[in-house]
Amino acid sequence: MSPQRKLLLLGTFVHSKTQQDLDFLHKAGIAVDAHGKIAAIERDAHDLSEVKARLLAKLGWDEAEVDVTEATEGQFFFPGFVDTHIHASQYANAGIFGKSSLLEWLETYTFPLEASLKDLSKARRVYSRCIRRTLSHGTTTATYFATRDVPATNLLADLCLSMGQRAFVGRVCMDRPDMNPAYYRDASASESVEATQQVIDHIRTIDPGFDVVSPIITPRFAPSCSAEAMKGLAELHRQTGLPIQTHVSENPGEIQLVAQLFPESNSYTDLYDKCGLLTPRTVLAHAVHISEEEADLIAHNKSKVSHCPCSNTCLTSGPARVRWMWDKGIDVGLGTDVSGGYSPSILEAARQAAMVSRHVAMAIEEEKEKERAKLTVEEVLYLATRGGARCVGLEDKIGGFEVGMEWDAQLVTLNEVNGDGEVHDEDDDHGFVDMFGWETWGDRVAKWVYNGDDRNTKRVWVKGRLVHRRK
């Protein structure tokens, strides 16, 4: 990307220090260079003009060459969210799932919509809206499933690049004639691999270093793929080093189907391993019903899990056990799984992760384990940022504020309630998170997690580029 103006961001910054702890930087500043990288961080100054002076002096930058953004008292900068599992193609169906569960939901709602996006003008409408909407909710990185149509998948990649969203874009592979509708399937295993290669080639022409948009190899899930296709896609991974995404162990009917279709495999996860798909660059969505052995296998192979709590409730799939996966050493991130999940917001996914963990806890008898199962605000925000970054192999670039990382961030604002119980500007819609002034910073962040929405996200940057601004 061409160099852009340098940035100085001044105010309060909040990000994950560890899985359990947030770091709050006050009277702080971050300098971002012309390539979108964090060049310096200063904190604990007397005031913001001192921070600014310190940063400019440290870097030898002239004030005329930088754009300055000052957060007001009470606003804070937060890392952009990482959505590790979202079907851009299904965005038009968000909220439409009735009482269905996975397999009938695919047939009834999902395959018809996905197939219809071979109409490129329809794809453009849906994809543009999906990107615009997720950006406005602070999603700076999205790991997308598109459809099996190559031109429409290429279009999604083009749109992510032009709208500035960091993205992994996957052409969905599904070649099994007995398991996919005749109107929506690959003709053969080799079509799955060749069509994936075409999308890789396209993305290489628009973003040669895969700096913002990268291809991702995408066998839809085991029931929709032949072993030959899965093995061919694994071979493509070995040749290219590109990441892989798929679904695993989401729903009991699906698990039974896998056992029926692949009787030679020990488990759903074992099948992926045997096909060569269980790699350190693999993101497995759901993992709701995996066994101890499957979790150990995932941990051993350093594969990642995308936890999709909203979807798992909508489709009555079940509650995934994040603490248990963490205990096994598995990296976990959050996915909205639109439109299995109804919401394109990772803030919503974070809060649903907290809620689902409480349902997991309620089913545990032993008091200490019950308590441990519950996820804190700090932990769900870790999942939404650094956890997600680890899942997609970008932990050195995004998910937190450190020198050398890239400026993928959002500016968050909350209502300040005055002495009369009014908020500053009732017409200017800042959502419904009301601050009375006595909250600690931890409380502020908790109130945002549980009641915040896109109205609180004022600005969003990816790699230093301003990609969303709320009026």
Residues binding ligand GUN (CB under 6 A): 87, 102, 106, 110, 220-221, 247, 250, 311, 337, 340
Counting Cα atoms < 13 Å in the Cβ hemisphere of 209 gives 4
Partner whose binding site includes residue 6, from Fe ion, ligand GUN, none (CB under 5 to 8 Å by kind):
none
Closest approach of Fe ion to the CB of residue 221, in Å: 8
Give 7 or 285: the residue with its C-beta nearer to Fe ion.
Answer: 285
Cβ closest to Fe ion, residue 36 vs residue 341: 341
* Cβ pair 415, 423 in contact under 8 A: yes
The CB density around residue 363, as the number of other CB atoms within 10 Å, is 10
CB of 174 to ligand GUN, least distance (A): 8
Sequence-separated (6 or more) residues with CB below 8 Å from residue 43: 13, 25, 26, 27, 28, 29, 51
Partner in contact with 221, chosen from Fe ion, ligand GUN, none, beta carbon below 5 to 8 Å by kind: ligand GUN
What's the closest the beta carbon of residue 109 comes to Fe ion, in angstroms?
Answer: 13
Residue nearest to ligand GUN (CB): 340
Closer Cβ to ligand GUN, 101 or 357, answer by number: 101
What x/- string results for residues 266 through 305 when contact with Fe ion is judged by CB under 5 A? -------------------x--------------------
Specify the residue, 86 or 394, whose C-beta has the smaller distance to Fe ion: 86
Q: For residues 11 and 170, which CB has a smaller minimum distance to Fe ion in the complex?
A: 170
Cβ of residue 328: shortest distance to ligand GUN, in angstroms? Answer: 23
Pairwise CA distance, residues 8 & 315, whole Å: 44
Cα(294)–Cα(296) distance, rounded to whole angstroms?
5
Nearer to ligand GUN, 22 or 305 (CB): 305
φ, ψ (nearest 5 deg) of residue 240: -105, -20
- Minimal distance, residue 188 CB to Fe ion, in Å: 24
**Which residue is nearest to Fe ion, using beta carbons?**
337
107, 181 contact by CB (below 8 A): yes
Q: Does 158 bind Fe ion (CB under 5 A)?
A: no
Please give the angle made by the CA atoms of 101, 369 and 337, to the nearest 5 degrees: 30
- Would you say 186 and 174 are in contact if contact means Cβ atoms under 8 Å apart? yes
Q: Which residues pair with 68 in a beta bridge?
A: 8
Q: Is 337 in the site for Fe ion (CB under 5 A)?
A: yes
How far apart CA 149 and CA 171 sit, in angstroms, is 7
432 vs 453: CA distance, rounded Å: 9
Work out the angle between the directed axes of helices 189-206 and 150-163 (0-180°, nearest 10). 30
Using the minimum distance from each CB to Fe ion, give the nearer residue, 331 or 337.
337
Decide which of Fe ion, ligand GUN, none touches 110; Cβ closer than 5 to 8 Å per partner kind: ligand GUN
**Smallest Cα–Cα separation from 433: which of 76, 133, 134, 136?**
76
* Least separation in angstroms between CB 92 and ligand GUN: 13
Identify each DSSP E strand in 369-408 by its residue range.
none
Q: 3-class DSSP state for residue 117?
A: coil
Does 250 help bind Fe ion (rule: CB under 5 A)?
no
3-state secondary structure labels for all residues of 187-221: CCHHHHHHHHHHHHHHHHHHCCCCCCEEECEEECC
Nearer to ligand GUN, 87 or 397 (CB): 87
CA distances from 428 to 1, 71, 456 (A): 35, 17, 11
Q: 459 is in the binding site of which of Fe ion, ligand GUN, none (Cβ under 5 to 8 A by kind)?
A: none
Rounded least distance, CB 342 to ligand GUN, Å: 12
Rounded to a whole number of angstroms, the minimum distance from the CB of residue 175 to ligand GUN is: 14
Nearer to ligand GUN, 106 or 334 (CB): 106
Edge-to-edge, what's the strand order for the sheet holding 166-170?
A: 81-87, 139-145, 166-170, 213-215
Q: What are the E-state strand segments in 308-425? A: 331-334, 409-412, 415-416
Nearer to ligand GUN, 29 or 170 (CB): 170
Q: Nearest distance from residue 221's CB to ligand GUN, in Å?
A: 4
State in angstroms the smallest separation of the CB of 265 from ligand GUN.
17
Interface residues with Fe ion (CB under 5 A)? 285, 337
